[in-house]
Amino acid sequence: MERLKNMGLKKSFFLLSVCCVCSSLLLVLLVFLVCHAISGSYPSGGVELGANGAVIPLEQPTSGQQRILTILTAVQWLSCLFLPVCGLGVAGILFYRIKLKTPISVLQAGTERILKHDLDFTTPAVSSDELGQICAAFETMRMELLKTNQELWRQAEERKRLNAAFSHDLRNPITVLKGTVKLLRQGISDEQALDRLERYTLRMEQYVEAMSRIQRLEQLPVRISECPYAMLRSELEDTMKLLAGALRFSISVPDRGTVKLDHGLFLTVAENLIGNAARFARSELTVGVENQGGVLFLTVMDDGPGYPAELVQHGPKPFGKMEENAAHFGMGLYSSQTLCLKHGGTLKLENKTDHGAAATASFQINEKP
C-alpha cells in the first residue's frame, strides 16, 4: 500500500484499473461456470440419435425449469457487461481513497486556515507523487507568505515607532519656538530670540526632510559639523528656560573649544532628556556636558522619584509607560537611546541615592582646543 501511495498518478490508476478489470473478468468466468453447472442439472429437451439411427426424444424441461434456464442465460450475459463496469468503478473509488482523499483534505484544510489569516500550521508531506509535490509546494508558499506577513508587520511596527519618534522629537522644538514667540509678543525677549527662531526652524526643516527619506529610526543620517562649546551652552540654557522654566536649574559646559558632532542629534537628545526630567523633577534640574577621551557625555539629573527599576534594568522600550497614568510613554528615552547609538555612544539610566534620576548620553566626537 505504501508503495502504491508513492507511485505516480498515471501508473497507479493504470495498475488499479488492470487489477480491478482482471478481477471482474475472473468473476464473469466464475458466474459462467456456476450458471453452467446449475443449467446442467436441468433437462435441455430436444432429441438424441441412437447408434442404429433411431431418434430418441429427450426429456423436455418444465415451464418452471425453462424460466430458470432463461434467467441463467441472462445472468451470464449481464455479468459480461456489469462486472467489468463495476471493476472500473471500484478502481476509481480505490484510486480516490488511496491517492486523492488525503492530499485534497490537507490542501482544503490549509486553504481554509489561510483564508482565515491563520498561517501558524504545517502542511504534512503525504506522499512523493504529483499531489505530494503539490502539498510540498503549498507548504513552501505558506512559509513564504508567513515571512511576507512578518516582514510587513515588522515594517508597520518600524513605521509606527518612526512616526512616534518623529512626533515626539518635534514636540520640544515646537515648545521652544512657541515660548520664543510668546516672549517676542510680550516684548521681553533677549537679543538671541530671532537667532533662536532661525536655528530651530532650520533644525526642524532638516529633521523633517531626513525623517521623510528613511523607513527606520536607525537609518537617520549623522551629519558631523564643528560646534563651539559656547553655542552648546547657550542652546542648552535656552532649552532649560523654555522647558523647565519653573524649576531651579544649573548647567556645566566647558568654557572653550570646539567639538565635532551632529549638532541636531545632540540637541534632540538633550531636549528629550531635559523635557523628561522636567516632567518628573520636584524643584531642581542639573545638566552637565563633559569630554572624556574623545567621548562627549551629557548628563541630566533631577530630584524626582527616579526611574522604575525595570526601566533601569532593561533600558527604554518604545511605547513603554514610565507610570500607569503618565502622558509620557517612554518614546523620548527610546529615541534618545537610538540616536546615541547612531552617534557611536550609549544612553545610561540610573537612580542617584537621595537625589532622583540621572540620564547620561554619550557621543563619539572629535574635539579641537
Alpha-carbon distance 308 to 330, whole Å?
12
Q: Output the nine-digit C-alpha cell for 120.
A: 501558524
Residue 297 phi, psi dihedral angles, 5° rounding: -105, 130
Q: What is the mean pLDDT of residues 32-54?
A: 73
pLDDT of amino acid 329: 42
Q: What is the mean pLDDT of the chain?
A: 83
pLDDT of amino acid 253: 92
pLDDT of amino acid 345: 92
Answer whether CATH 3.30.565.10 is correct for domain 153-368.
Answer: yes
CA angle 54, 55, 56 (to 5 degrees): 115
pTM of the model: 0.60
Q: Residues 110-154: pLDDT tens digits?
A: 999 999 888 888 888 888 888 888 999 999 999 999 999 888 888
Q: Residues 240-299: pLDDT tens digits?
A: 888 887 888 899 998 888 889 988 889 889 988 998 888 888 888 999 999 988 899 999
Cβ–Cβ under 8 Å, residues 218 and 338: yes
Would you say residue 51 has pLDDT above 90?
no
Q: Residues 52-61: pLDDT tens digits?
A: 666 566 667 6
pLDDT of amino acid 326: 39
Would you say residue 330 has pLDDT above 70?
no
pLDDT of amino acid 171: 78
Position with higher pLDDT, 206 vs 79? 79
Stretch(es) of the chain classified as CATH 3.30.565.10: 153-368
Alpha-carbon distance 92 to 88, whole Å?
6
- What CA–CA distances, in Å, run from 195 to 177, 186, 192? 11, 17, 5
- Name 300's bridge partners: 287, 359
Q: What is the mean pLDDT of residues 29-34?
A: 90
